[in-house]
């Protein structure tokens, strides 16, 4: 069994999975969609990954504001969580994702990944891995 981490964005969802011992998180892929509200294919891909990777629970990044308040994007994530639980039948845990994109950018810079386009291809799955790794560290 594994745990999946998700970084939900308006047009992308970064996906990461844990190893079977729940020690490390690895970025898997970025699911892209053309329009913000067209989630059918996104849900279908997440469901397929859950089956392929034997996922038992999902950790979903929760975008709180720096002052700990909840904004419009957090409300969108709550709606996504509700639909994700209904579609997959799995427990979905919200995990504070503040500064994960900043950290993901730092990882890419330190790894000498140059250019906005190259970073854009991988930043969401790295952010998902950081969200999931934070959760995995908390349960050990």
pLDDT in tens, the chain (140 residues): 999 999 999 899 999 999 999 999 999 999 999 887 789 999 999 999 999 999 999 999 999 777 777 778 889 999 999 999 999 999 999 998 876 666 666 766 666 666 665 666 677 898 999 999 999 999 98
CB atoms within 10 A of CB 117: 7
Listed residue (94, 101, 80, 102) closest to 135, CA to CA? 94
Which CATH number belongs to the domain containing residue 122 in this structure? Answer: 3.30.420.140
* Structural domain boundaries enclosing 59: 2-139
Rounded to the nearest 10°, the torsion over CA 59, 133, 76, 107 is -160
User: How many distinct structural domains can be found in the chain?
Assistant: 1
pTM, full prediction: 0.87
Report the alpha-carbon angle 31-46-10, nearest 5.
40
């Amino acid at each position: 069994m594994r745990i999946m981490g998700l970084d939900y964005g308006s047009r992308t969802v970064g996906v990461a999975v844990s190893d079977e011992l729940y020690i490390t998180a690895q970025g898997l892929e970025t699911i892209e969609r053309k329009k913000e509200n067209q989630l059918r294919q996104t849900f279908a891909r997440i469901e397929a990954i859950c089956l392929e990777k034997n996922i038992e629970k999902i950790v979903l990044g929760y975008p709180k504001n720096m002052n700990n308040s909840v904004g419009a994007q957090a409300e969108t994530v709550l709606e996504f969580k509700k639909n994700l639980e209904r579609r997959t039948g799995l427990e979905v845990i919200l995990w504070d994702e503040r500064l994960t994109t900043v950290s993901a950018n730092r990882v890419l810079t330190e790894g000498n990944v140059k250019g906005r386009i190259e970073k854009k291809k991988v930043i969401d799955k790295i952010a998902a891995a950081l969200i999931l790794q934070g959760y995995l560290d908390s349960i050990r």
